[in-house]
């Protein structure tokens, strides 16, 4: 439920940031980025590593843009995305810890 609310409220700005603000891609670069994402996810699955499709596509878009040259990539946007990944990891871990403690106390579970 919470994921659905997040997708409906903040999904569009996030998609626009990743799809439009990292780098402007033409069709060939976009296809290359999608292929890079799929290949990364497939190889990670074969090796038994969990991977985020979101991280894979951001890296692939950055790589496709890098093929055109560093001057085309919006480094500020990539930095912002990477910082938010770190922050979301910490916030979600802290939130899960607090919710576990609260529900354990309410349900009397040790």
Query: What are the 10-residue block averages of pLDDT along the chain, 110 residues in total?
Result: 71 76 87 93 93 88 89 89 89 95 90
Query: With contact defined as beta carbons under 8 Å apart, do 69 and 13 qualify?
Result: no
Question: What pLDDT is recorded for position 38?
Answer: 94
Q: Distance (Å, rounded) from C-alpha 11 to C-alpha 4? A: 9
Q: Which residues contact 42 (CB under 8 A, 6 or more apart)?
A: none
CB 67 within 8 A of CB 35: no
From the list 33, 30, 19, the residue with the least C-alpha distance to 74 is 19
């Amino acid at each position: 439920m919470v994921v659905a609310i997040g997708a409906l409220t903040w999904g569009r700005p996030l998609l626009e940031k990743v799809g439009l603000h990292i780098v402007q891609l033409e069709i060939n670069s976009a296809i290359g980025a999608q292929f890079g994402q799929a290949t990364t996810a497939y190889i990670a699955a074969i090796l038994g590593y969990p991977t985020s499709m979101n991280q894979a596509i951001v890296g692939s878009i950055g790589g496709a843009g890098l093929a055109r040259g560093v001057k085309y990539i919006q480094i500020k946007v990539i930095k912002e995305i990477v910082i938010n990944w770190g922050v979301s990891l910490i916030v979600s871990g802290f939130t899960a810890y607090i919710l576990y403690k609260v529900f354990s106390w309410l349900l009397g579970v040790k």
